[in-house]
Chains A and B, each alone.
Chain A
Amino acid sequence: MSDAAAIAITASRQPPTRWPTTLTAAAVLVFLLAPFAALVFATDWHDFQFAPGDLDAIRVSLFYSGLALMLVVLAGTPLAWWLAHYHYRGKWLVDALLLLPLLTPPLAMGILLSSFYGPYSPVGGLFSQAGLYLTNTAPAFVLAQIYGAMPYYVLAARAAFEGVPEELEQISRTLGRNRWQTFWRVTLPLARLGLTAGVALAWVRAMGEFGIVLIVAYFPQGIPVKLWVNLEDMGLSAVYPLLWVFFLVAVPLPLWLGLRSRRQGMF
């Protein structure tokens, strides 16, 4: 390739800066981020103190979201793998049904859960007899988070598994590794980035779940419900400390994973 051609190609990859588009992009970015900047100024840094019960809310959110995330990954990974690997007639129907919990508004989902697992339903009755009450309890809280987070995780994990060439899994078998070993040594490492994205997404969904939790498990109060309660009881200025904590625990993990997966041109 001649130098001139090489220069032409480099040039076409980096279009010359055009002020109108740059300005528009900057304006939209400012619009998106302005509320976050406002939080810095709105916070009363001299009188930064938590409302009563805020620390409990943080503990509840962290602990139960972690638990919910674990259950989502444990149950969602096999489902995602199965969806990615098996092809049969009528699979579109399964795909559509899988989207149902994802597309249902959280509030509606909460109502569905309370009528399905509530104390007066047959299923809720069975659980109650076993000593497991699924309204306004810790298990109900985790259940609500699972319903909020699992569909997102399953979709992301399924896409990640579908991105692994089937041929590599087949070759692993011809090299003497069974399906289980192949999953750990080939599928999982190659799906790693997509799976971590799914975990990050599930974490944010579980932490931030408000609609479902509000209906099914008002108690124990996690951060989102406590924010709502503070807002109602004490007004806007009382929510900032907890809001800061919410950002600090919910956002860094997904942000870090997201940046990492974008930067790392894998292998």
Chain B
Amino acid sequence: MEIRYQLEKPVTLDIQMEVRDFTVLLGLSGEGKTMLLKAIAGLIPARGHPFGGLAAERRPIGYLPQGYALFPHLRAWENVAFPLPRGAGRRAQAMDLLARVGLVDLAERYPAALSGGQRQRVALARALARRPELLLLDEPTSALDMATRDEILDELIREVHDFGVPVLAVSHDPHLAMLADHMAVLLDGRIAQEGPPRAVFARPATMGVARLLGFRNFLAGRIEEIAGAEMVVAGAGADWRLRTGLQHDMRPGMAVTVAIRSEDIVPDQTPDGSAPNALKLQVVGLREEGVALRVRMEGALSLDMLLPRLQCEGRSLAPGTDMWVQVAPEHVHVMAR
């Protein structure tokens, strides 16, 4: 499904993107992701299609806001039955939907007596009772506990696949985007990039997108050489060289930005720095991050490395010590500047 929406207030957005199966729109908080969903739902004035010009109650969408907005005065099954027409089969239909999200035992409970994940599924069943053509999810991970989050997300994605309704979920959580069938990145009110998550995460189109996807290292450089299936990038005004895989849109002499993930930088296992892209750098800062260690290094270039605990064992790291590190050429991502 193709979505085109434009709005001016309260934020300026000009969105054109594809929604298929479970699609995640990734963007920073305050970018207007919620406003886009409200615009598609017809709750704020906007121009666009599909559904443009229809009153909110006539749009065939299901909308799950953050916190899910269950009606506190209605039991779980009454919430699900809310969009259903009055009639004999109303309760049975609602119970059927609750059964499909695995909550039929909690049908008589009020929302206040349900957990975050259970509320989300009641809200999903309620939205699906409407037989929507498109399901809109606002930050579906925000109200969930870390402990049960992944489990509930897997369940949610499985359920929406079962129902066969295309989903547009907006989130600031790259983790959710990784689980999607299709993703898009919202930057400055426009779609900066879209595609399958595997492609987008591997090849962010701009520095802004890369930042959103979790890249921490950005270096200014220039294409020095293209030879066969490889390119060499040299530092702009700094003495370093990195080998990288061939990209077709690059020409020698082009100014580029190099992006590297912290977790793709690893200690060099060869004795003398003979590995490709080996760099000798000085440790300037250390910070524990859970069971991993974040290492700040400087030298010909500054790098931020995330060292898993397996790599830390038997290694004495302290500020001031020198260290050989390397990054595989296929993990050096080059973007035109």
Chain A contact residues, CB within 8 Å of chain B: 165, 167-168, 170-178, 185-186, 189-190, 266-267
**Interchain CB contact under 8 A, A175 and B130:** yes
Known: A170-B38, A178-B57. 18 other contacts (CB 8 A): A167-B69, A168-B69, A170-B41, A170-B69, A171-B69, A171-B71, A175-B126, A175-B130, A176-B130, A177-B57, A178-B55, A185-B82, A186-B71, A190-B72, A190-B73, A266-B72, A267-B72, A267-B73
- Is B334 an interface position by the 8 A CB rule? no
Q: Which of B24-41 contact A (CB under 8 A)?
A: 38, 41
Complex Cα spacing A267 to B79, Å: 14
B83 partner, pick from A168, A176, A189, beta carbons under 8 A: A176
The contact size tier of chain B is 20 to 34
**CB closest residue in chain B, given A179:** B57
Complex Cα spacing A46 to B61, Å: 73
Give chain A residues whose Cβ lies under 8 Å from the Cβ of B82.
172, 175, 177, 185
Min CB–CB distance B234 → chain A (angstroms): 54
Query: Binary interface profile of B, 122-147, with partner A (CB < 8 Å = 1, else 0)?
Result: 00001101100000000000000000
Give chain A residues whose Cβ lies under 8 Å from the Cβ of B72.
190, 266-267
Give chain A residues whose Cβ lies under 8 Å from the Cβ of B73.
189-190, 266-267
**Interchain CB contact under 8 A, B59 and A174:** yes
Complex Cα spacing A177 to B129, Å: 13
- Is B112 an interface position by the 8 A CB rule? yes
Min CB–CB distance A177 → chain B (angstroms): 6
Complex Cα spacing A185 to B116, Å: 24
* Residue among B57, B58, B61, B83 having the largest count of chain A Cβ atoms under 10 Å: B57
Give chain A residues whose Cβ lies under 8 Å from the Cβ of B59.
174
- Is B63 an interface position by the 8 A CB rule? yes
Give chain B residues whose Cβ lies under 8 Å from the Cβ of A267.
72-73, 110, 112
Query: Binary interface profile of B, 47-77, with partner A (CB < 8 Å = 1, else 0)?
Result: 0000000011111011101010101110000
**Interchain CB contact under 8 A, B61 and A174:** yes
- Is B43 an interface position by the 8 A CB rule? yes
**Interchain CB contact under 8 A, A174 and B110:** no
Complex Cα spacing A171 to B59, Å: 12
Give chain A residues whose Cβ lies under 8 Å from the Cβ of B43.
170, 173-174
**Interchain CB contact under 8 A, B110 and A175:** no
Complex Cα spacing A25 to B83, Å: 52
A176 partner, pick from B57, B67, B69, beta carbons under 8 A: B57
Min CB–CB distance B53 → chain A (angstroms): 15
A to B CB contacts below 8 Å, 5 in the list: A172-B71, A174-B59, A175-B130, A185-B82, A190-B72
Give chain B residues whose Cβ lies under 8 Å from the Cβ of A167.
65, 67, 69
Min CB–CB distance A171 → chain B (angstroms): 4
Min CB–CB distance B174 → chain A (angstroms): 27
Complex Cα spacing A105 to B192, Å: 64
* Residue among A173, A174, A267 having the largest count of chain B Cβ atoms under 10 Å: A174
Beyond A168-B69, A189-B73, is A174–B63 a contact (Cβ under 8 Å)?
yes
